[in-house]
């Protein structure tokens, strides 16, 4: 997601209490950031953050962290938090390539990937968030019994993501090629901004849940 570069967004992010400014400093001690030992779940590429804000409101006993690369997008999330603050959610502005420098081994309980950028050119496959290169990073930070949940409306990206599992040592627990007509997988579903947009024009939504 690219929004018009909003002037001053970096400054507003640097001044926001909802953004963790030096996330590397909390590696291995995120429980201190939240002031409790509750599980930590993260969304990588959170966009404007609506999905995480809804999850955080629904379950205050889980801690959430949203990771977003672009300041102009993250700013929208901050504005939503200012309008309706939630205690158990923080944001980080960073490229997820560096995620292992921000979370320690097995520090994360669950990872959400929602409508990740498809990077359609083969030579950019490594940048895709469900690629084997990223799965290796997630393997470091995710608890042994933790899961990754991935949703997309992009068929090619979903196929690619499925093909990456075996070489990277992951196991497919559940999947659907039409989430919105899958009663069981729809239970407790929280729509993301992209999900709302793409499902409203009739695109089926793909989803998998994986573990090792
Ligand atoms: N999850 C949201 C947004 C999807 S768009 C939703 O479902 O509505 C994908 C988002 O991922 C964009 O905001 C993009 O900036 C972010 N993103 C892409 N690559 C990233 C990376 N390497 N690190 C962090 N964020 C990334």
Q: Which residues contact 205 (CB under 8 A, 6 or more apart)?
A: 151, 152, 153, 178, 179, 180, 195, 198, 199
Mean pLDDT of 98-121: 98
Atom of ligand 1 nearest to the CA of 46: 1
Cα 85 to Cα 148: distance, rounded to the nearest angstrom: 26
Question: What pLDDT, in 10s, does the model give residues 140-177?
Answer: 999 999 999 999 999 999 999 999 999 999 999 999 99
pLDDT for 99: 98
**Quick one: residue 89, left, alpha or beta (phi over 0 = left, psi -120 to 50 = alpha)?**
beta
pLDDT for 8: 81
- Max distance between CA atoms of the chain, in angstroms, equals 44
Mean pLDDT of 183-202: 97
Share of the chain above pLDDT 70, in %: 97
Q: Please answer whether residues 100 and 137 qualify as being in contact, where contact means their C-beta atoms are separated by less than 8 angstroms.
A: yes
What is the CA(44)–ligand 1 centre distance, in A? 7
Domains along the chain with CATH numbers: 1-96 (3.40.50.150), 105-212 (3.40.50.150)
User: Model pTM?
Assistant: 0.96
Task: Quote the Cα angle for 100-141-133, to 5°.
Answer: 65
Residue 151 pairs in a beta bridge with: 114, 207
Share of the chain above pLDDT 90, in %: 94
Q: Which helix (H) or strand (E) holds 105?
A: none
pLDDT class of 9 with cuts at 50, 70, 90: confident
What is the CA(59)–ligand 1 centre distance, in A? 23
Catalytic residue, candidates 117, 145, 163, 178: 117
pLDDT for 202: 97
The answer to whether residue 5 scores a pLDDT higher than 80 is: no
pLDDT for 1: 57
Question: What pLDDT, in 10s, does the model give residues 25-44?
Answer: 999 999 999 999 999 999 99
Cα 127 to Cα 120: distance, rounded to the nearest angstrom: 10
pLDDT class of 10 with cuts at 50, 70, 90: confident
What is the CA(74)–ligand 1 centre distance, in A? 10
The answer to whether residue 23 scores a pLDDT higher than 90 is: yes
Residues with a CB atom less than 6 Å from ligand 1: 1, 44-47, 67-70, 73, 95-97, 114-117, 192-195
């Amino acid at each position: 997601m690219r929004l018009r570069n909003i002037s001053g967004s970096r400054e507003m992010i640097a001044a926001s209490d909802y953004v963790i400014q030096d996330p590397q400093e909390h590696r291995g001690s995120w429980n201190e950031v939240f002031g409790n030992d509750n599980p930590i779940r993260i969304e990588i590429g959170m966009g404007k953050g609506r999905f995480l804000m809804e999850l955080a409101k629904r379950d205050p006993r889980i801690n959430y962290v949203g990771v977003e690369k672009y300041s102009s997008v993250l700013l929208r999330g901050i504005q939503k938090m200012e309008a309706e603050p939630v205690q158990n959610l923080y944001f980080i502005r960073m490229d997820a390539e560096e995620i292992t420098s921000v979370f320690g081994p097995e520090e994360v309980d669950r990872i959400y990937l929602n409508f990740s950028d498809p990077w359609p050119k083969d030579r950019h496959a490594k940048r895709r968030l469900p690629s084997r290169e990223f799965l290796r990073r997630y393997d470091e930070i995710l608890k042994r019994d933790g899961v990754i949940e991935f949703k997309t409306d992009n068929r090619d990206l979903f196929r690619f993501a499925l093909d990456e599992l075996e070489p990277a040592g992951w196991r497919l627990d559940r999947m659907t090629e039409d989430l919105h007509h899958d009663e069981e997988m729809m239970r407790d579903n929280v729509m993301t901004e992209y999900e709302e947009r793409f499902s409203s024009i009739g695109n089926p939504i793909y989803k998998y849940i994986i573990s090792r």
